[in-house]
Amino acid sequence: MAGLATQFGSGAMTNSIGDFKDSACLLSIGANTTEAHPVIGFEMKQAVKRGAKLIVINPRKVGLVRHADLWLRPKSGTNVPLIMAMCRVILENGWHDEAFMAARCENLEAFKESLEQYDLESVSRITGVPAEDIKAAACMYAKNTPAAISYAMGICEFSHGTDGVMAVGNLAMLTGNIGKPGAGVNPLRGQNNVQGACDMGALPTTYPGYQSVTDPVSQAKFALAWGKTSGLKPGITLSEMFDAACDGRIKAMYIIGENPMLSDPNLAHIEKALRSLDFLVVQDIFQTETTALAHVVLPGASFAEKDGTFTNTERRVQRVRKAIEPVSGSRPDWLVTCQIAQKMGAQGFDYKGPYDIMNEINRLSPSWGGITYERLDACGSLQWPCPTVEHPGTPILHTHVFTRGRGKFMPLDYFPPFEMPDDEFPFLLDTGRALFHYHTGTMTRRVGGLNRFMNEEKLQINPADAQNLDIRDGDMLSIASRRGKVTARAKITDVTPAGTVYMTFHFRETPSNLLTSPGRDVVTATPEYKACAVKVEKVKVEKLKSGGEG
Amino acid sequence: MNLSGLREQANNAWKAVNEPSRPQVLVGQATCGEASGAGEVNHSILETLKRLGIEADVHSVGCIGACYCEPLVDIVKPGAPRICYHSMTPALVSELLEDYLVKDNPRPDLALGVWGESRFGIPALFELPMFKPQMRIALRNAGVIDPENMMHYIARGGYTGLERALKMAPEAVIAEIEKSGLRGRGGAGFSTGLKWKLCRQAKGSPKYIICNADEGDPGAFMDRDLLESDPHAVLEGILTGAHAMGAAEGIIYIRAEYPLAIKRLVKAISQMRDIGLLGKNILGSGFDFDLRIVMGAGAFVCGEETAMMNSIMGRRGTPRPRPPFPAESGLWGKPTSINNVETWACVSAIMEKGADWFSSFGTEKSKGTKTFSLAGKINRTGLIEVPMGITLQEIIFGIGGGIPGGKSLKAVQTGGPSGGCIPASMLSLPVDYEALTKAGSYIGSGGMIVLDEDNCMVETARYFLSFTTSESCGKCVPCRLGTRQLLTILTDITQGKGKPQDIPAILGLGKSMRQGSLCGLGQGAPNPAMTTIAYFREEYDEHINSHVCRAGECRALISYTIIAERCKGCAICLRACPSAAITGEKGKPHVIDISKCSQCGNCLDVCPKKFNAVVKVPAAGPAAVPAAKG
Amino acid sequence: MAQTVKFTIDGKQVTSTEGTTVLEAALSAGIFIPNLCFHPDLEPYGGCRMCIVEIQGMRGMPTSCTIKVAEGMIVKTFGPEIDKTRRDALQLLLANHPTDCLACVKNQRCELQKVAAYMGVTERTMQRTARPQAVDESNPFFKLDRNYCILCARCTRTCNEITCVNAIDLVSRGDETRVSLFQDQQFMESICRSCGECVARCPVGALVSKNTVIPSSEVLTTCCYCAVGCSMYLGVRDGKIVSVRGNSEGKSNKGKLCVKGRFGIAEFVTHPDRLTSPLVKGENGQVQASWDDALQIVADRFKTYSPDEIAVVASARTTNEDVYAVQKLARAVLGTNNVDNCARL
Amino acid sequence: MQQISDILSFHRADRSDLIPILHEVQSRLGYIPPEAMQAAADHVGMSASEVYGVATFYSAFKFKPVGRHCVKACRGTACHVKGSEKILAEIEKALGIKDGDTSADGEYSLETVACLGSCALAPVLVVDERVYGRVTPARVKSILRGER
Residue A237 sits in a domain whose CATH number is 3.40.50.740
Same domain, A124 and A158: yes
The CA-atom distances, in angstroms, between B122 and each of B19, B114, B128, B142, B513 are 19, 6, 11, 22, 54
A238 to C194: CB separation less than 8 angstroms, yes or no: no
Q: Is residue C185 part of a domain?
A: no
* Number of neighbours of residue B292 by Cβ within 10 angstroms: 12
- Of the pLDDT bands very low, low, confident and very high (cuts 50, 70, 90), residue D115 is confident
B584: left (phi over 0), alpha (psi -120 to 50) or beta: left
B312 to D59: CB separation less than 8 angstroms, yes or no: no
Helix (H, G, I), strand (E, B) or coil at B622: coil
The interface pTM score, or ipTM, of the predicted complex is 0.93
Of C168, C159, C7, nearest in space to C74 by CA: C7
Phi, psi of A531 (to 5 degrees): -155, 120
Same domain, A351 and A231: yes
The CA-to-CA distance between both ends of chain C, in Å, stands at 42
Of D75, C177, D121, nearest in space to B216 by CA: D75
Same domain, C17 and C112: yes
CA dist A452 and A437 (Å) reads 11
Q: Does D34 touch chain C (CB under 8 A)?
A: yes
> Is the bond preceding residue D123 a cis peptide, omega within 30 degrees?
yes
Q: Does A302 touch chain C (CB under 8 A)?
A: yes
Same domain, A378 and A470: no
Axis crossing angle, helix B222-229 with helix B231-245, rounded to the nearest 10: 100
Q: What is the pLDDT of residues C286-296, one digit of tens each?
A: 999 999 999 99
Residues in A closer than 8 angstroms to C275, CB to CB, are 284-287, 291, 297, 299-300, 329-330
> Is the bond preceding residue B324 a cis peptide, omega within 30 degrees?
yes
A neighbours by CB contacts (3+ pairs under 8 Å): C, D
CA dist A297 and C289 (Å) reads 10
The residue type of A418 is F
Axis crossing angle, helix B231-245 with helix B160-167, rounded to the nearest 10: 0
Beta strands in A122-170 (DSSP E): 147-151
The residue type of B82 is R
Q: Is residue A517 part of a domain?
A: yes
* Number of neighbours of residue C211 by Cβ within 10 angstroms: 11
Same domain, C253 and C290: no
Same domain, A332 and A466: no
Same domain, A298 and A438: no
Q: Is residue C175 part of a domain?
A: no
What is A14-61 written as a DSSP string? SS-GGGGGG-SEEEEES--HHHHSHHHHHHHHHHHHTT-EEEEE-SS-
DSSP state of B122: B
Q: Does A529 touch chain C (CB under 8 A)?
A: yes
CA dist B618 and B112 (Å) reads 44
pLDDT of residue A162: 86
Same domain, C58 and C79: yes
Of B292, B281, B207, nearest in space to B241 by CA: B207
Complete domains list, chain B, with CATH: 4-127 (3.40.30.10), 159-358 (3.40.50.11540), 369-452 (3.10.20.600), 457-546 (1.20.1440.230), 555-618 (3.30.70.20)
Beta strands in A172-292 (DSSP E): 185-187, 206-207, 211-212, 252-256, 279-284
* Cα of A89 to nearest chain C Cα, Å: 31
Helix (H, G, I), strand (E, B) or coil at A432: strand
* Cα of B373 to nearest chain C Cα, Å: 28
Residues in B closer than 8 angstroms to D122, CB to CB, are 375-376, 381
Q: Is residue A326 part of a domain?
A: yes
Chain B CA closest to residue C53: B516
C172 to D56: CB separation less than 8 angstroms, yes or no: yes
Q: Is residue C17 part of a domain?
A: yes
CA dist B547 and A12 (Å) reads 82
DSSP state of B10: H
Q: Is residue A537 part of a domain?
A: yes
Give me the residue from C160, C170, C183 closest to D34, CB to CB. C183
pLDDT of residue C1: 60
Q: For the residues B468-483, what does the mean pLDDT come to? A: 96
B and A touching (3 or more beta-carbon pairs closer than 8 Å): no
Chain B CA closest to residue C45: B320
Sign of the CA dihedral running B124, B129, B131, B132? positive
Same domain, C226 and C295: no
Q: Does C191 touch chain D (CB under 8 A)?
A: yes
Q: Is residue A462 part of a domain?
A: yes
Q: What is the pLDDT of residues B234-276, one digit of tens each?
A: 999 999 999 999 999 999 999 998 999 999 999 999 999 999 9
C neighbours by CB contacts (3+ pairs under 8 Å): A, B, D
Give me the residue from A18, A46, A302 closest to C164, CB to CB. A46
* Beta bridge pairs of residue A26: A54, A148
Residues in B closer than 8 angstroms to D77, CB to CB, are 218-219, 375-376, 413, 416, 447, 449, 463-464, 467
Structural domain span for residue A523: 427-549
D and B touching (3 or more beta-carbon pairs closer than 8 Å): yes
Contacts of D122 (CB under 8 A, 6+ apart): B375, B376, B381, D74, D76, D78, D79, D81, D82, D84, D133, D134
The CA-atom distances, in angstroms, between A21 and each of A42, A44, A48, C254, C257 are 11, 7, 9, 13, 18
Chain D CA closest to residue A48: D45
Low-confidence ranges of chain A (pLDDT < 50): 544-550
pLDDT of residue B630: 36
pLDDT of residue A419: 86
Residues in B closer than 8 angstroms to D89, CB to CB, are 578, 600
CA dist A128 and A130 (Å) reads 6
Chain D CA closest to residue C170: D53
CB A390 within 8 A of CB A321: no
Q: Is residue A67 part of a domain?
A: yes
* Beta bridge pairs of residue B430: B391
DSSP state of A527: B
Same domain, C105 and C10: yes
The CA-to-CA distance between both ends of chain B, in Å, stands at 68
Most A-contacting residue of C226, C290, C296 (CB-CB within 10 A), to test interface: C226
The CA-atom distances, in angstroms, between A179 and each of A146, A395, A488, B124, C264 are 10, 10, 46, 84, 37
Given C118, C134, C165, the domain boundary residue is C118
D and C touching (3 or more beta-carbon pairs closer than 8 Å): yes
Most C-contacting residue of B322, B467, B515, B521 (CB-CB within 10 A), to test interface: B515
Q: Does B205 touch chain C (CB under 8 A)?
A: no
Q: Does D61 touch chain C (CB under 8 A)?
A: no
Chain D CA closest to residue B215: D117
Given A138, A162, A188, the domain boundary residue is A188
pLDDT of residue B621: 45
**CATH number for position A19:** 3.40.228.10
Q: What is the pLDDT of residues B533-543, one digit of tens each?
A: 999 999 999 99
DSSP state of B302: G
What percent of chain B has pLDDT above 70? 98
What is B36-90 written as a DSSP string? TTHHHHHHHHHHHHHHHT---EEEEE---S-GGG-S-EEEE-TTS-EEEE-S--H
What total of structural domains would you count in chain C?
A: 4
Q: Rg for chain A (alpha carbons), in Å? A: 24
**pLDDT exceeds 70 at position B298:** yes
Give me the residue from A311, A325, A452 closest to C239, CB to CB. A325
- Of the pLDDT bands very low, low, confident and very high (cuts 50, 70, 90), residue C211 is confident
Same domain, A146 and A22: yes
pLDDT of residue B629: 38
Same domain, A18 and A162: yes
Axis crossing angle, helix A79-92 with helix A131-143, rounded to the nearest 10: 60
**pLDDT exceeds 90 at position B138:** yes
Q: Does A134 touch chain C (CB under 8 A)?
A: no
Same domain, C294 and C322: no
CA dist A82 and A432 (Å) reads 21
Given A138, A166, A188, the domain boundary residue is A188
Residues in C closer than 8 angstroms to A236, CB to CB, are 311, 338, 340
- By CB atoms closer than 10 A (0-12, 13-18, 19+), residue B628 is middle
Q: Is residue C193 part of a domain?
A: no
Given C61, C84, C118, the domain boundary residue is C118
CA dist A125 and A117 (Å) reads 13
Same domain, A225 and A128: no
pLDDT of residue A417: 84
Structural domain span for residue C223: 217-272
Chain C CA closest to residue D63: C183
CB B406 within 8 A of CB B420: no
> Is the bond preceding residue A385 a cis peptide, omega within 30 degrees?
yes
* Cα of B291 to nearest chain C Cα, Å: 30
* Cα of D148 to nearest chain C Cα, Å: 37
DSSP state of C235: E
Beta strands in B540-580 (DSSP E): 558-562
CA dist A197 and B68 (Å) reads 87
Give me the residue from C60, C172, C173 closest to B515, CB to CB. C60
The CA-to-CA distance between both ends of chain D, in Å, stands at 38
pLDDT of residue A437: 87
Q: Is residue A389 part of a domain?
A: no
Most D-contacting residue of C183, C186, C191 (CB-CB within 10 A), to test interface: C183
Same domain, A455 and A348: no
Residues in A closer than 8 angstroms to C223, CB to CB, are 192
Q: Does C237 touch chain A (CB under 8 A)?
A: no
| pTM given for the model | 0.93
What total of structural domains would you count in chain A?
A: 3
Q: Is residue A399 part of a domain?
A: no
Complete domains list, chain D, with CATH: 2-57 (1.10.10.1590), 69-144 (3.40.30.10)
CB A439 within 8 A of CB A194: no
* Cα of C157 to nearest chain D Cα, Å: 11
Residues in A closer than 8 angstroms to C323, CB to CB, are 193, 196-197, 200-202
Q: What angle do CA B144, B400, B84 make, to 5 degrees?
A: 30
A295 to C281: CB separation less than 8 angstroms, yes or no: yes
Same domain, C226 and C293: no
**pLDDT exceeds 50 at position B624:** no
> Is the bond preceding residue B71 a cis peptide, omega within 30 degrees?
yes
- Of the pLDDT bands very low, low, confident and very high (cuts 50, 70, 90), residue B2 is low
Of A162, A203, A224, A116, nearest in space to A415 by CA: A162
* Beta bridge pairs of residue D132: D125
Same domain, A331 and A379: yes
Chain D CA closest to residue C177: D57
Q: For the residues B216-223, what does the mean pLDDT come to? A: 90
pLDDT of residue D147: 56
Q: Is residue A413 part of a domain?
A: no
- By CB atoms closer than 10 A (0-12, 13-18, 19+), residue B609 is exposed
Contacts across the C-D interface (CB distance below 8 Å):
43
**CATH number for position A452:** 2.40.40.20
The region of weakest confidence among A538-547, B103-112, B247-256, B494-503 is: A538-547
CA dist B76 and B18 (Å) reads 7
Chain A CA closest to residue C234: A323
Axis crossing angle, helix D137-144 with helix D84-95, rounded to the nearest 10: 40
Most C-contacting residue of A66, A189, A191 (CB-CB within 10 A), to test interface: A191
CB C232 within 8 A of CB C238: no
Same domain, C297 and C316: no
Same domain, A52 and A200: no
* Helical (H) or strand (E) element with C217: strand C217-222
Helix (H, G, I), strand (E, B) or coil at A361: helix
* Cα of A189 to nearest chain C Cα, Å: 6
Given A348, A383, A418, the domain boundary residue is A383
CB D121 within 8 A of CB D134: yes
Same domain, A351 and A446: no
For C42-61, letters b (16+ CB in 10 Å) and e give: bebbbbbbbbbbbbeeeeeb
Same domain, C81 and C25: yes
Taking an 8 Å Cβ-Cβ cutoff, which residues of chain D contact chain A?
A: 42, 45, 47
Residues in C closer than 8 angstroms to B509, CB to CB, are 88, 92, 126
